[in-house]
Each structure stands twice: as C-alpha cells, then as structure tokens.
Amino acid sequence: MLPSGVTRLLLVCHASTPATARAVFPGDEPLDEPGLRRAAALAPQFGPGSAACAAELRCVQTAEALGLRADPDPLLADCDYGRWRGRTLGEVEAAEPEGLAAWLTDPAAAPHGGESITDLLGRVSGWLSRRAPGRLVAVTHPPVIRAAVVHALGAPAQAFWRVDVAPLARVALTGRDGRWRLSYPA
C-alpha cells in the first residue's frame, strides 16, 4: 500500500516502428514486428490491468502487447511536428537548416508549424500536476517522457535534448505535493 498522497507513475515508451528505424518525424504508424515481439515479451512484467495511453496507434498497440487495456489520454500525445511529420531528419535539415537549428536550440521555436518544446513541456507538466495519488502506468512517446523527466528534475527547457528515450524504455516517477522523484526501474 502507498503512503497517503503518493503517486507512483511508470512511464513506458512505445515499442519501435518503421519511423524509429528511419529517424522520421512520426505520424500515426503501427509498431514494426521486432517492436511488437519485444513488447509482448515484457507482458509478464505488467500483468493484466489498464494504462493511460497516448491515442496514437503505436502506443495503443504497445499497451495491448504488454497485456494492458489502453485508456487514451490526449495529453499524452506525441509532439506535433507540423509539416515535418513523415520526413526524415536529413530531409528537414536539407530543406530547412535554419528552422531545424532553431528548433534544436530554442525551446520556444516551432518552425514546423506544430508544437514547440516549451508548449510540450507545459502540456506534460499540467498532466503530471493532475495525477491523483495511487499507481499508474502510462504508455507514451519519447518526447513526452523527456518532458516528464525535465519537469521532475526541475531542469531548464534546454535539458530536453539531453535526455534519450529508447523504444520500451521505462521511467518511474514518485510524486507527492507537486514534487517528483525519478528512478529507472531495472
């Protein structure tokens, strides 16, 4: 049993997709076969239950492969990459080098016409602040998990780019009274 007022949150990154392998700004693609197999292999660690989940197909499929019932939450959605969606990092760099440089150095920049890192950080901070005491598993995207880590550490927005989140990575946060502790489960 958890102490009163404590929230234990396990953030799980979705499994790999074809976009992951190609370094593409993702859309709403399904998992690839290796990602699906790796997620299914982890299912015994999760057991039956439910999970907050981004509504994108790759997150829903990951939750289901883990043996969890997906409960979609729009605040767990991936970053909106605007017109860069579906393009590789190399394509964007070739076509919009100044825009890409701005996006990677200025958290408030949104040269793609989508969501800035500052906006993403605000969305995720708001989601974290509304977590009720208890245990929750959330299946979501690398940028959302990065934003949660930045928030938990009280780090500046520029720290967002210093956090790597691999497919199926898990990050545990324990929160109470608006403060979060970060751990990486084994």
Tell me how many domains the chain contains.
1
Within-domain flag for 52: yes
CB atoms under 10 Å from CB of 112, counted, come to 21
Torsion sign, CA atoms 131, 135, 139, 145: positive
Q: What is the pLDDT along the chain (186 residues), one digit of tens a residue?
A: 566 789 999 999 999 999 988 889 998 999 999 999 999 999 999 878 999 999 999 999 999 999 999 999 999 999 999 999 999 999 999 999 999 999 999 999 999 999 999 999 999 999 999 999 999 999 999 999 999 999 999 999 999 999 999 999 999 999 998 899 998 776
Contact (CB, 8 A) for 144 and 137: no
| Helix/strand number for the chain, H first, E second | 7, 6
Look at residue 1 and tell me if it is in a domain: no
Q: How far is CA 129 from CA 7, 96, 148, 149, 152, in A?
A: 11, 36, 11, 13, 11
Distance CA 153, CA 106 (A): 20
**154 Cβ contact list (under 8 Å, min separation 6):** none
User: Which residue in 136, 159, 131 sits closest to 146, CA to CA?
Assistant: 159
| Cβ contact 138:10 at 8 Å | yes
Q: How far apart are CA 31 and CA 178, in angstroms?
A: 34
Q: Is residue 2 part of a domain?
A: no
Nearest C-alpha neighbor of 182 from the set 160, 149, 159: 149
What is the rounded distance in angstroms from the CA atom of residue 65 to the CA atom of residue 63?
6
pLDDT, residue 186, reads 60
CATH code assigned at 39: 3.40.50.1240
Q: Which two tokens stand for residue 15?
A: 């499994």
Q: Which residue range forms the structural domain that includes residue 61?
A: 7-183
* Distance separating alpha carbons of residues 160 and 178, to the nearest angstrom: 20
Q: How far is CA 33 from the centre of its chain?
A: 20
